[in-house]
Structure 1
């Protein structure tokens, strides 16, 4: 039996993305976010999540993706504290689909020849769907959220 790994599949705009399940603490419904003055554009603000102040990052802004008119199913994926040096952090996504198990043959590593501002944060591309029919395959961009957060530098100096 081939080795498999579980990821959380989510959506930003029309595109499907994934993150490692072990870094996701929980998924909560969108709630009012208190903006912080002079915060970076990607920092939507803070929420009080069961008595803990949690920083909320708009993943779309952080990755430089266009704004989406669809806000109906937006969710907050709360990350494990060790992802952000012990800080409570959540990321806003347009929708969360499911937890999926992927096998090694479904994973396509990105080669170094592809360059964009986001490629350093892409672990791999996941191919889901019918093996015989290429047209029915869905491509999911597997993000290295831990690297995205650590590269912000914001949490490097957190108390």
Structure 2
């Protein structure tokens, strides 16, 4: 996994992405933003937190906000919620470390720019594009846009 400070935001043209599931759909983020993937552990609820913040966890001595991307993206339904994708703290500016609670993490794959279509979504900041595959599509999301918004 990549770590360290990211100077330029990855583009939705091509690169390495981490694929994961939220409900019935497959999503991906640029691997450049990911520092680690951990199993779901005990999440402590934080009173009066926004609806998309599930709580916090202690990950290697750092208090990490755990975000539910299903709430952020308006995804209905429950899932396995087995993994947490931990992002480089640089993407969340002054908010500290953050991780996304996802159902499952699949693989890191290379995406060719010719396979990426523009997002049909109105929230174009959070969605880089849609990656076309033989067996369907993968929604490429931008965690930096989610956490800075």
Per the normalisation by structure 2, the TM-score is 0.84
Aligned counterpart, 2:4: none
Matching residue within 18, 22, 25 for 2:35 = 25
Q: Alpha-carbon deviations, 1:39-96, whole Å to 9, x = none?
A: 111110000111111111111112121131x32x621000001000151111111111
Work out whether 1:76 is the aligned partner of 2:81: no
> What is the CA-CA distance between 1:108 and the residue it aligns to?
1.3
> What is the CA-CA distance between 1:4 and the residue it aligns to?
4.3
Aligned counterpart, 2:57: 47
Q: Which has the larger radius of gyration?
A: 1
Per the normalisation by structure 1, the TM-score is 0.79
Counterpart CA distance in 1 for 2:37 and 2:105 is 8
Ranges of 4+ aligned residues in structure 1 off by more than 3 Å: none
Counterpart CA distance in 2 for 1:141 and 1:67 is 18
Change in CA separation of 1:81 and 1:49 when aligned onto 2, cut-off 3 Å = same
Measured on the aligned residues, the alpha-carbon RMSD in Å equals: 1.6
Name structure 1 gaps, 5 residues minimum: 130-136, 152-159
Aligned counterpart, 2:139: 141
Work out whether 1:97 is the aligned partner of 2:102: no
